[in-house]
Homo-oligomer: A and B are copies of this chain.
Amino acid sequence: MHIGLIGLGKMGNNMRARLRKGDIEVTGYDPNPAVSDVASLADLAAALPAPRVVWVMVPSGAITTSVITELSAVLSEGDLVIEGGNSRFTEDFKHSALLAEKGINYVDAGVSGGVWGLENGYGLMVGGNAADVERAMPIFDALRPEGPRAEGFVHTGEIGAGHYAKMVHNGIEYALMQAWAEGYELLDSRKDIIKDVTGTFEAWQRGTVVRSWLLELLVKALKEDPEFKEIEGYVEDSGEGRWTVEEALNNAVPVPTISAAIFARFVSRQGDSPSMKAVAALRNQFGGHSVRKAD
């Protein structure tokens, strides 16, 4: 099989390597000529056997929309686009409709695995019609982890379902990370009795209810930097956690832990909190409680 891959950043580059290892021929395109196999999207289209399969792996939002739009011009009826970026699932409805005007097929793919995917394989959730998904199966098989297909790949539903599932996956991930973080702070807060925080997490890796990959990563991180002395408690968030809460609001789903995880990140990035200034001011007003003067 010979496919095109657009976007050769940290993720795309690793995926190209894993695909090639899995005997998929890959022609990659990236605006950066240092990593690109061809000079343009038109060249990419020309280099691929028809009907073509093109995997798009670029930043979500305007860039993805722009690439999809350009592809609608250089691809032909019967070609298949797989959109594997971190797009919001609602974008898939627009992108697939745009390509459908030209008779170009569309599958959306949620991809999990981060920097470990090259070695471990990528967890895949895809949306689209059965024929398109079947057609791309050799690609999915090359990307997904070893082991039973059903444990690393799912055709989860209609167009948009792959990105929806990935969004929920990331929402859960936010809450799982926050849960671990609260546990860390609880152990860390009682150093008078807990003498080995890292060792405690390490001992949970076998036999316990909480054993998991995030726990293993936490142990690894603590061994590299016990007490996180080198790290600031400042945490970015990508779009998917926010989208998860927005979808929860749209569908009246209560998500107290996922939202708490996101709010904790927001707070972590504030030099001083406007909210807590207001609370301090109120306490001062009614109770005469002293406030700390800002510098």
**Scoring A residues 207 to 251 as 1 if CB is less than 8 Å from chain B, else 0, what string do you get?**
111111111011011100100111111111000001011111111
Chain B residue nearest to A155 in the complex (CB): B196
Interface of A: prevailing SS? helix
Interface range for A: 35 or more
Report A194 CB to chain B, min CB distance, Å: 5
Flag if A205 contacts B264 (CB, 8 Å): no
- Distance in angstroms between the alpha carbons of A267 and B116 in the assembled complex: 33
- Distance in angstroms between the alpha carbons of A150 and B122 in the assembled complex: 29
**Scoring A residues 121 to 134 as 1 if CB is less than 8 Å from chain B, else 0, what string do you get?**
11111010000000
Report A22 CB to chain B, min CB distance, Å: 14
Flag if A195 contacts B278 (CB, 8 Å): no
Contacts of A190 in B (CB 8 A): 164, 247, 251
Contacts of A101 in B (CB 8 A): none
- Between A115, A185, A234, the greatest number of chain B beta carbons within 10 A of the residue's beta carbon is seen for A185
When the two chains form the complex, which single residue of B171, B208, B258, B280 contacts A231, counting CB atoms closer than 8 Å? B280
Contacts of A78 in B (CB 8 A): none
- Between A158, A176, A211, A251, the greatest number of chain B beta carbons within 10 A of the residue's beta carbon is seen for A176
Chain B residue nearest to A186 in the complex (CB): B168
Contacts of A4 in B (CB 8 A): none
Given contacts A193-B161, A266-B252, contact A283 B206 (CB under 8 A): no
Contacts of A161 in B (CB 8 A): 193-195
Q: A156-B194, A254-B275, A255-B263 are in contact. List 8 more A-B contacts (CB 8 A).
A: A112-B208, A144-B207, A151-B205, A164-B187, A181-B276, A181-B278, A185-B274, A209-B213
12 contacts between A and B (CB under 8 A): A89-B193, A125-B200, A164-B194, A189-B253, A212-B212, A214-B282, A218-B282, A221-B282, A233-B275, A259-B259, A265-B279, A267-B267
